[in-house]
Amino acid sequence: MNVLLITADQWRGDSFGAAGHPVVKTPNIDRLAGQSVMFSRHFAQAVPCSPARACLYTGLYQMTNRVCRNGTPLDRRHDTLALAARRAGYDPTQFGYTDVAQDPRLHEGRDPWLTTYEGVLPGMSVRVRLPEDGKPWLSWLKARGVDVSKGLDIYLPEHGPADPPRGAPPAYSADDTETAYLAGEFLRWLGEQDRPWFAHVSFLRPHPPFIVPEPYASMYSPDQGPDFVRAATPQAEAAQHPYIAYSLATVQKTNFVHGASGSIGDWDDAARRQIRATYWGMISEVDAQIGRIMEGLEAVDMTDDTLVVLTSDHGEMLGDRHLYGKLGWFDQSFHVPLIVRDPGGRRGARIDRFTESVDIVPTILERIGAPVPDHLDGRSLVPLLEGAEPSTWRREAHWEFDFREVATGATEQAFGLPLDALNLAVVRGDRFKYVHFGGQSGGLPPLLFDMETDPGELTNLADDPAWRDVRLEMAEKLLSWRARHLDRRLTGIELTDAGPVAAGLERRKP
C-alpha cells in the first residue's frame, strides 16, 4: 500500500463544503470525502505549528513529547511516524516542511540546525523543503519568468497598499502558488516510483500571509458568510479572561497581512470580512491542487492502492473572538479537518465521534502492517474506517496550549508567573468544555462553558456556584486523562527473574 499524508496548514475544521460550510467551495475535497471517511469532530492537540506537528508525527500528547512552542526541540528519544514507516520498508519523503526543531544534544558548534525550528522530522527523506524564506519556490518562480527581485515582498498586492486589506491579488498567478509548486513536484516524483511509497505533502496554505491570486482573490464577497462569533466589543472580550486581554493587546497585523503594521485591534469589520473572504479563496486554491494530485493518482492507476490522509496541523481564529491566529482554548484554533480514503475502508461515511491528531500515527501504522507501539496516546481509526463501533471510544477531546516565551520572557513578565505555569489543558465533551491553567493557585483562572446553550463560549460558568459540581467533574476528568497518559513507554514492563515481561492482552516478552 502507498501512503499519502497531506496537511494544509491553518485550516479550520468548518471551512470546506463537505463540512457544511455555507460559502466555501471545495469540489475536489468534497469528492474525496465522498470516497472516504470524514471525521467531523477531529481536534489538534496543540498549537502553534511545531507543537501541533509534534503530536501529529509522534502520536503523543504535548505533556509527553514536551514540544511547547515553535523552537522547542523534539527530544530524539521519541519515535516518529517517519522512523516507524522506514522500519516497515518505506522511504518517507517530504514535500514542504515538518517544523521540527532538532534536539541540540545531537548537534555541536555552529550547526545551522540549532538556529531554526524548521528542521526535518527524523526519518524523513527530503525531496522539497520549503522553509519560511520561500527560496526554493522563489527560484522556481524565477525560472518561470516571474519577477522575484523583492523576495517575500511578492506577497504584497500587485497594485495598491496592503492595508487595509482589499482582496487585491499578488503579481503571480494561480499556477505559480506555493501549493501548485509542491503539487507539481510531488506529481513529478510520483512518476519515478516503482515500489510502494510514502509521501508527506505539507502545504503552507491557507496559512498567512492572507493573499491569493485570481480567480480566488475575488471568488468570495466580504458580504458573504455568517456573523463573527464574539463578544460585542474587544473590551467585553478582554474582560472574560486575562489571556484574551493579553492576546488582543499583543497580536500584530504583520503576522497575517504582509506589509501591514499595528495591532489586529485596529482593523474594522470591513477589513475583517475581507480577510475572511481571502482566507476562503486560499482554501479553494488548495482544493484545486488537491484535485490535481488526486487526478495524478488516477492517471497512474494508483488510487485504489493508496491510503490518503488529508488533515491540518491546527485551525485559525479568523476574526472570531476579535482574534487571529491559533491560540488559547478555542474550537476555532483546534478543530481541524480529517478525511481518510482507505482502500479497504468505507466510502462516503461521516464519523461524529471525537478523534484527535494523535490518532493518525497508529492508524497509518496499522494500515501498512507495521507494529503499533503500546505507549502511544492515540488510537487507531481503522475500526471506524471499517464500520465497527468500538464500545470504549473516547467521549471527549483533549488539547493543550503552552504560551511561554522562553527567549524573550514576555509572557512571564506580562502575567507575573513562572514559565511552567504558562499553559492550559482542555477537556471538551458533547456538552461542557473545561479549561484548566497551570499554576492554578494564584495563577490564571479556569473556564467552564456549556457548549449546548453557549456554543460561542462567551459565558464563563467556572465561578458560578450553580455549576460547581460540573466544574469539579470536568476537572476530575482532566486529571484522570493526564494520569492515564503520562509517559508509559516502560511502565508496562517489569523485569522479573524470568526476564522482562510486558503487560497486554496476554503477558508477553517485550
Whether the CA torsion 7, 13, 14, 19 is positive or negative: it is positive
Decide: 197 and 93 in contact? Cβ < 8 Å. Answer: yes
Report the pLDDT value the prediction gives residue 109, as an integer from 0 to 100: 86
Stated pTM of the model: 0.96
**pLDDT for residue 463:** 96
Strand order in the sheet with 198-203: 125-129, 93-96, 198-203, 2-8, 306-311, 338-341, 37-43, 349-356
Look up 55 and say whether it is catalytic.
no
Rg of the chain, C-alpha, whole Å: 23
Q: Pick the catalytic residue from 5, 8, 37, 49.
A: 49
Q: Note whether 363 and 381 are within 8 A (CB).
A: yes
**Letter for the amino acid at 155?**
Y
Neighbours of 380 (CB within 10 A): 20
Our separate counts of H helices and E strands in the chain read: 14, 14
Our CA dihedral for 293, 295, 296, 297, rounded to 10 degrees, sits at: 90
In sequence order, what are the residues at sequence separation of 6 or more whose Cβ sits closer than 8 angstroms to the Cβ of residue 106? 76
The sign of the torsion formed by the CA atoms of 124, 128, 131, 132 equals negative
CA 44 to chain centre: 6
The DSSP H or E segment spanning 232 is none
Q: What domains can be seen in the chain, in order of their start residue?
A: 2-392 (3.40.720.10), 400-485 (3.30.1120.10)
User: pLDDT 10s per residue in the chain (510 long)?
Assistant: 999 999 999 999 999 999 999 999 999 999 999 999 999 999 999 999 999 999 999 999 999 999 999 999 999 999 999 999 999 999 999 999 999 999 999 998 899 999 999 999 999 999 999 999 999 999 999 999 999 999 999 999 999 999 999 999 999 999 999 999 999 999 999 999 999 999 999 999 999 999 999 999 999 999 999 999 999 999 999 999 999 999 999 999 999 999 999 999 999 999 999 999 999 999 999 999 999 999 999 999 999 999 999 999 999 999 999 999 999 999 999 999 999 999 988 999 999 999 999 999 999 999 999 999 999 999 999 999 999 989 899 999 999 999 999 999 999 999 999 999 999 999 999 999 999 999 766 789 999 999 999 999 999 999 999 999 999 999 999 999 999 999 989 998 899 999 999 876 444 544
* Cα(66)–Cα(64) distance, integer angstroms: 5
Contact by Cβ (8 Å): 37, 367: no
